[in-house]
Structure 1
Amino acid sequence: MIKKLFQLAFLTLVYLFIALPTQGQGAKNPVIHADVPDLAMIRVGDTFYMSSTTMHMSPGLPIMKSKDLVNWEMVGYAYDVLTDVDDMTLANGKSTYGRGSWASSLRYHNGTYYVSTFAQTTGKTHVYTTKDIEKGPWKAISFRPSMHDHTLFFDDDGRIYMIWGAGKLSMVELKEDLSGTKPGTERVLIENATAPSGPNVGLPAEGSQLFKVNGKYYLFNISWPKGGMRTVIVHRADKITGPYEGRVALQDKGVAQGGLIDTPNGDWYAYLFRDYGAVGRIPYLVPVKWEDGWPVLGVDGKVSDELDLPASKGLIPNIVAPDEFTRKKGEPALPLVWQWNHNPDNKLWSVTQRKGYLRLKTGRVDNDFLLARNTLTQRTIGPESAGSTAIDVSNMKEGDFAGLAMLQQRYGLVGVKFENGAKSIVMVNAESGSPVVEESVPLKQKRVYLKAEGDFNNRRDVATFHYSLDGKTWTKIGSQLKMAYTIPHFMGYRFGLFNYATKTPGGYVDFDYFHITDRITEVKAVGENYKAK
């Protein structure tokens, strides 16, 4: 009897220990430690939807969903191809790195979902509509001009507006079918939206997102004062046409640009993002309280590390995911986590020509990795991540180069080169801005294993590269890549599977799988380089 009572007491204590809240059980900022910039968000019932920027990638304008604001999954893209001009097809030496489509606006109105964006590549404003945001299809509308960082807004009286600009913000009314602007309706909405953040203007107020709460209009913008940090500015008005009064709403850690979202139970948050080095621009959630009709962001003006929301279950497999390249009947050829670097040539890739493999075939001659077509990419994730693959290189042609990349302007590659009748495992480092072959190891077999690791802890931003001949024992190769987030590409580093020809098109390689993990095998001291021996 005493033994049973002791067991019962012990089990009760265990239950209480499990049931009591403990530190670290909830969500933490950043809610997504990956490149998801320029986010726009809506809630429909108990489901949240988010759009973001992926610029030159195809498909583009990603749509994600969540039930708790923390755990997000990809559900689709608004478009497969933005346009087929040379810049998007990497033709004639052109590219659209850092351009393509930018900051989107996401809305739900009268049973229809709307997501709009603008593109320097096309010189147009693009609007995509659907009745089913998770399955589509999306209808595309476009018109000139390209309205920079605009916000689409459906007012209660049925009128449709766009607000856009930088510093001086303008507003125009749209036609009912969203096919263009109504003549004579354009007006300056706020002459100097940057003013609340002070006179030292660096980045003028942009990133407009408009909301209507309790009959008042709230316009969110970002500015970046010289010598300061990214700053959230909010303007408020009783009428959409103004006049607007503005104030600084948040200035902490450089977390800025976004808007407002409420939960079904009445809590409010600001969704924003932070520039965080080579991994990219990463989303944060900031609690919002309402005081005197103003949204007050943060806790005592600061961005909290801890959030009163469910904990993250991790970014794998809903933001990034491994892929064995096996497809069941009816499944899409590529899961949503994949995007091509620019528009692909769909004749030159397949997941069916060899079961369980991704085949990348060369169709033209290229001499620059950044201008080669059909590089298939996924985001890197922080604070650390590793991507690995195995390649069958037996069908390469002289001059071909295939492998695994860490893609940005200052990229790193590990792959197989076929030169002078022989294959070698090669590591290329473009940290200086120009590609340098750091090491070359002869390859005598047709299958090789490659791995790239990214250490983004505390913005350390270094990548290391490895190869294996058996998939078990790994050898470092080349030099450590000091990753850098560069404005010409305007995107966090991505893992990329590539194959391009430098002499004769028509060769191909078969990728057996792509594996991604949120751990790296070894962390080295800051600034330490290595040469694999």
Structure 2
Amino acid sequence: MTYTNPILNADWSDPDVLRVGDDFYLTASSFGRVPGLPLLHSRDLVNWTLVGHALDRLEPAEEFARPRHDCGVWAPSLRFHDDRFWIFWGDPDQGVFQVNAPEIRGPWTRPHLVKEGKGLIDPCPLWDEDTGEAYLVHAWAKSRSGVKNRLTGHRMRPDATGLLDEGTLIVDADRVPGWFTLEGPKLYKHDGWFWILAPAGGVETGWQGALRSRGFFGPYEEKVVLEQKDTDVNGPHQGGWVRTASGEDWFVHFQQRGAYGRVVHLQPMRWGADGWPVMGDDGAPVTVHKLPDLPPQPPAAPATDDDFPGGRFGRQWQWTANPQDGWATQHSGDGLKLACVRSADAHDLRRLPNVLTQRLPGMPCTVEVGLRLDSEEPGARAGLAVLGDAFSWIGLQRAADGTAELVHRFAEGVADRERDAARARPAPEGWARLRIEIGAGARCRFFTDLGDGWTPSGQVFAATPWRWVGALLGLVALAPDGQGHAGTATFTHFRVTPQ
């Protein structure tokens, strides 16, 4: 039996992986979306389900009251120590944080700032079982700190509440011929060596490196252990090593795929005769490979569909900023009731905190949802969106005379407000089915159904990513200007169907 990469075909950026007993866990970057730090579970490293999030809100709360799509939670590391789960991450504008919990589903502590500073990213801890010492390594974001391509190491308090020194430059990749943008370090102890598995060369064109030293503070020697070669897996980029109970070694990493974001691959791994790790097919990424030697599991993937029972939405959904009470209303039936939040930014979905999003699937698919515009207020609107540096959405709006109409709008990446993608037309019942057919290259075609069959709308829209984040599917309800809400809109039967 075999598996096919990617094992997670959507934007699960900067994955890190961990085994505890017979269970495997994975977390990923969540940037400015809330809740943050997704938590995935698997028994076979191939089939994954989303079981929760470790971060309820981003802090400081006032900083994330508005969308900051490329900020927030960068490149977390997931570890298990002292009978607790630990997640460390870097906020490039604040510093290195950690949360911890007795169980993967929580309760998780509030974020604790381990090291304050600008440009501190991609942290990873290590508790050395041989000596009782604790360490932390992190990389640097040049956009905030003015430096990059280097790794800094610290001795850390064993309880991870703080650091014990000012930090030491343990790897300066400017001194390594041909290496640039070294980042994303994952720290391990194996066979008497300190190991740092870290990518270099850039997200879209780089390679996976391994560095080793007999002492944590170096000196380190380096080797390229996974690169694109003649495959179509560009990057391949940052990830984590995990060993099964039977002793098999595997490496999980991401591949940048434009609007689809950073999809996740699983590579076989072994230790060569020279003591260095060998990943994939002799250093090249595999597309199809024999399954890990683990008990067979039924096919599984993070959920996408949602009937919104009781007005509640599934774990796959995230707001584009810290949410406020009243944005979604629980009730006795099915269907998601979103408040039409008034905003001066109603002309630009990229600026709205009250967009409920999930990841754009990494394969051709059809997305459908039912929508009823309950609000009677002129200007109130709601719809289904593809959201990135450019965006397009289709839905319903109350006209000045109170009638409902179908609208389809978009904005280019360089535009500061939306404009019509198609002419508005009447929707007499204030109800519609909405559809987006997403083809190769994330090219999107929009359709509506008022009960008389599907009608195409507008031109093809090519989804675009943000700087670090893949495009998102979004549900939105809004109204122009003012404060508070202007009634509600109800979404039903959200479905994502592979083509």
Alignment equivalent of 1:453, drawn from 415, 437, 460: 437
Q: Structure 1 residue 260 and structure 2 residue 241: aligned?
A: yes
Partner of 1:358: 336
Query: What is the aligned partner in structure 2 of residue 217 from structure 1?
Result: 194
**Among candidates 17, 28, 42, match of residue 4 of structure 2:** 28
Inter-partner Cα distance in structure 1 for 2:298 and 2:392: 30
Residue segments in structure 2 that go unaligned for 5+ positions in a row: 140-147
Aligned to 1:124: 95
In the alignment, which residue of structure 2 is the partner of 1:163? 137
5+ residue gaps in structure 1? 1-24, 521-533
Tell me which residue corresponds to 2:181.
204
Distance in 1 separating the partners of 2:106 and 2:364? 32
Paired with 2:168 and 2:60, the residues of 1 have a C-alpha distance of 33
Q: Output aligned runs, 1:28-47, within 5 Å.
A: 28-47=4-23
Contact 1:396 1:509 in 2 (8 A): no
Number of the residue aligned with 2:127: 154
TM-score normalised by L of structure 2: 0.89
Are the equivalent residues in 2 in contact too, given 1:76–1:134 (CA < 8 A)? yes
Give the superposition deviation at 1:313. 6.0
CA distance in 2, matches of 1:313, 1:55: 31
User: Counterpart in 2 of 1:370?
Assistant: 350
Instruction: Work out whether residues 408 and 493 of structure 1, in 8 Å CA contact, stay in contact via their aligned partners in 2.
Output: yes
Q: Deviation of residue 314 (structure 1)?
A: 5.8
Matched, 1:242 2:224: no
Identify which of 141, 162, 165 aligns with 2:112.
141
Aligned residues: percent identity?
25
In the other structure, the counterpart of 2:365 is 385
* Rounded Cα–Cα distance in structure 2 between residues aligned with 1:132 and 1:432: 42
**Partner residue of 2:458 out of 469, 473, 478:** 478
Structure 2 contact 383–477 (Cα < 8 Å) conserved: yes
- Deviation of 1:344 after TM superposition, in Å, equals 1.2
Instruction: Give the Å deviation of 1:86.
Output: 4.0
Matches within 5 A, 1:68-147: 68-90=44-66, 95-121=67-93, 123-146=94-117, 147=120
Asked if 2 retains the 8 angstrom alpha-carbon contact of 1:429 and 1:479, the reply is no
Letter in 2 for 1:301: G
- Separation in 1, partners of 2:150, 2:11: 28
Kept in 1, the 8 Å contact 2:312–2:336? The answer is no
SS in 2 for 1:62: strand
C-alpha contact 1:359 1:508 (8 A) present in aligned 2? no
Q: Distance in 1 between matches of 2:446 and 2:88?
A: 39
- Hey, which bits of structure 1, 4+ residues long, moved more than 4 A? 310-315
Structure showing the higher strand proportion among its residues = 2
Residue identity in the other structure for 1:444:
P
Q: Distance in 1 between matches of 2:3 and 2:78?
A: 24
What letter matches 1:406 in structure 2?
V
SS at match of 1:103: strand
Asked whether the 8 Å contact 1:31–1:285 carries over to 2, the reply is: yes
Pair 1:469-2:450 in alignment: yes
- Secondary structure, counterpart of 1:278 in structure 2: helix
Given the alignment of the two structures, is residue 279 of structure 1 paired with residue 286 of structure 2, yes or no?
A: no
**TM-fit CA distance, 1:376:** 1.0
Q: Structure 1 CA distance, aligned partners of 2:317 and 2:285? A: 32
Structure 1 equivalent of residue 388 of structure 2: 408
Report the alpha carbon displacement of residue 396 of structure 1 after superposing the two structures with TM.
3.9
Q: Out of 325, 338, 353, which is 1:346 matched to?
A: 325
Q: Which residue of 2 aligns with 1:516?
A: 495
Superposition deviation, residue 60 in structure 1: 0.2
Q: Does 1:56 align with 2:32?
A: yes
Aligned to 1:231: 207
Q: Tell me which moved more, 105-114 or 411-420.
A: 411-420
Question: How far 1:423 sits from its partner (Å)?
Answer: 2.6
Distance in 2, Cα, partners of 1:484 & 1:404: 16
- The structure with more radius of gyration: 1
- Residues 204 and 224, structure 1, Cα contact 8 Å, conserved in 2: yes
On the 8 A contact 2:340/2:488 being kept in 1, the answer is no
* 1:493 paired residue among 465, 471, 488: 471
Q: Residue 381 of structure 1: SS of its match in structure 2?
A: coil
Offset at residue 267 of structure 1 (A)? 1.4
What's the RMSD between the two structures over aligned residues?
Answer: 2.2
Q: 2 CA distance for matches of 1:150 and 1:296?
A: 24
